[in-house]
Each structure stands twice: as C-alpha cells, then as structure tokens.
Amino acid sequence: MSTSRERVAAALALDRADRPPVSAWGHTYDREWAVDSLVESTVAGARRFGFDFVKLQIRATCFAEAFGARWRPSGSAQAEPVLERAGGTSVEDWRRIAGGPTASEPLELQVEVIRRVVEELGPDLPCLQTVFSPGMVAWYLTGRDTALLLRLVRDAPDLLRAGMAQIALALASFTQDSLAAGAAGVFYAVNPLADAALVAPSDYATWFLPHDRTAIEPASEGWFNMLHLCGPRIDVGLVERLPTECVNWSAHDEGNPSLAEMRDRFGRAVAGGLHRRTPIVTGTPEQVRAEALAALEATGGRGHLLTPGCSVSPWPAAPPANVEAMVGAAGVSRPLA
C-alpha cells in the first residue's frame, strides 16, 4: 500500500499509485481565530476522513490584516468574519500600504499553525500553506469591492503598483517561513481576478502578474505547489505563467475546462472533480460517490487529485457521510476513526 506522500507524488508525475489521492477543505470560521483551535480541527479532520494531504484553511483575512484591515469574529462556524475597516479603499490608504506591513502577528500565527499541523500529522501526509495572490489581498483591502480595486488600479497605477509590490514581498516572506515550518508547498489562490471576463489577460499581465511572480517565487523550494484559479471563465494562460505542480479550479463553473482538458493541454496534475456545494453539502452520499466516480472515470485517475474545485461551502454543514463517500470513491475502504 502506498503512503499518502507517494500517492501525491505519483499524481504530480501524471501517474497514479494504488489509488488517487483525496482531500477536501473549507472554512470553520469560529475555529480560525486561535492557533490551538485551528490546529485541532485541521488535524482531526485529516485523521477522521483519511485525507492524503492537507490544504490549510487559514483565516482568509490575515493577509489584509497585516496591511491595516480589521475584522472581528462573527461568532458562528458558518458565518464569515465581520468587516470593521477595509484598509485600502482610498488613495491615502494605498500610500500607507506602499510603506509595507503594519502588523506581523496575523501572518506569524498562520506559520505557527502549519508548523504544528505538520508536527502532528508527520512527514508522510503533505501539508499546503494557503497564500493569496497580491491582487487577491488588494481585493480584500478594498472590502472585496472588485470595481473599486480596478478603478484604483487604473486611476493610480503607480501607487497601486508600489502597494502590491509591498504585499508581494510580505507574501514571499510568508511562503519562505511556511516552508521552513514544514509545508510541502503552497496553495496559491487567485480570486476573483482569474476571471478573464473581469480582467483581460493582457491587463492582468500588466497590473498583477509581476507581483504574482514575486510572491510565488520562494514556493519553488517546495515540491508540492497548487495553483487555485477561482471562479468562472478562468484565464488558463495563468497555468503557464505561474508554474506549479498542480492546478485546482471548478470545472463546474461557466466557461471552465474539464479536468482532462487542463491536464492534457498543460501537462500538469489537476485537483478537483467535486462541486463545492452540491452534492457534497446538500446531497446524499450516493450522489457524492457518483460525482466523484464520474470525475475519476473522466481522467482515469491519472494525474488527478480528487478534491472539490473550491472550498466546500459551508464546510461545517457538509454531512460527514458525504465526505466519507468522496474519500471512499478514491478507493479508501473506510476513513480513520
């Protein structure tokens, strides 16, 4: 029987071991505000379901918090943090952001989480640190107001370029620290700017891609890096421009390629096959198993990591039996107790 690490390595080599590797992830918002609770829930989920790798689901706001944004806990496992101050909605804000991070603790805590998760799970179960692209962090800093972000980029390009350069350097340092803490690589997320209907690929190459390259460069020291392109109509050219060992996206979203199409076109391993909500949250185990088996049949399981195409939403509402059905479809006889 192969180890989880061997299954992942085989998939990255566009092959398969005894079975395809499998994992899933999603936010449990009330557990993400303290190191102990996030480590505990992450490790417990990996062990319960028998995942072959962990994509660390850190507090999504932490990167923007490092540059002056502020949220407070919602008090609910399923509700996002409550925005108190976006931190990047004006030219004056971006002059401050261009000066560099204002708080180190939000990122330091996430490095400590990956360190402890790796220590708990051991070297044979790879763990990925989540890293947002500079453009995605800028989006959070505008209060996730895409129109405002694109207007600032057009109206104050030099200032936004300087600000995102500082964000990229902070992300590069975060990546280095996470790898030193034991991460196998990063889950590099581009959202919502991967939508080619929202930002033309030529504009993305001008405004955002140079900062992506700065942020992701240290990840080359890892062996298992996953590019996540979020949303519909993804710019598949980013797969070549931001080289990683694996690509994750929702093949279910409008205008997106299938798993086999992406794998065969770019010669990269692919992660996905399940919709992030239906049926894994709202359906039955039988429906989940059918969806997973159909995805594996379409790729032959070769170069395929069986996962959702995005964060399971909402993760706390996903019935354990549905997650077990996904894992079982990959060939696991029974999840760990």
Residue 266's contacts (CB-CB under 8 Å, 6 or more residues apart) are 236, 239, 240, 247
Q: Do residues 26 and 313 make contact, with C-beta atoms less than 8 angstroms apart?
A: yes
What is the predicted pLDDT for the residue at 336? Answer: 33
Model confidence pLDDT, tens digit, residues 206-215: 999 999 999 9
Q: What are the tokens at 274?
A: 């399940």
What is the predicted pLDDT for the residue at 337? Answer: 31
What is the predicted pLDDT for the residue at 332? Answer: 54
| Closest of 110, 7, 43, 28 to residue 74, by C-alpha | 28
In the chain, the domains with their CATH numbers are 4-329 (3.20.20.210)
Q: What are the tokens at 141?
A: 């800093």
| Closest of 174, 248, 170, 246 to residue 211, by C-alpha | 170
In the chain, which stretches have pLDDT less than 50?
333-337
Q: In what order do the strands lie in the sheet with 226-229?
A: 54-55, 127-132, 185-190, 226-229, 246-249, 269-274, 304-308
Q: What pTM does this model have? A: 0.97
| Closest of 216, 196, 59, 201 to residue 134, by C-alpha | 216
Dihedral sign of CA atoms 128, 134, 136, 142 in order: positive
Residue 3's CB: how many other CB atoms inside 10 A? Answer: 15
The DSSP bridge partners found for residue 227 are: 188, 247
What is the predicted pLDDT for the residue at 131? Answer: 98
Model confidence pLDDT, tens digit, residues 179-205: 999 999 999 999 999 999 999 999 999
What is the predicted pLDDT for the residue at 91? Answer: 97
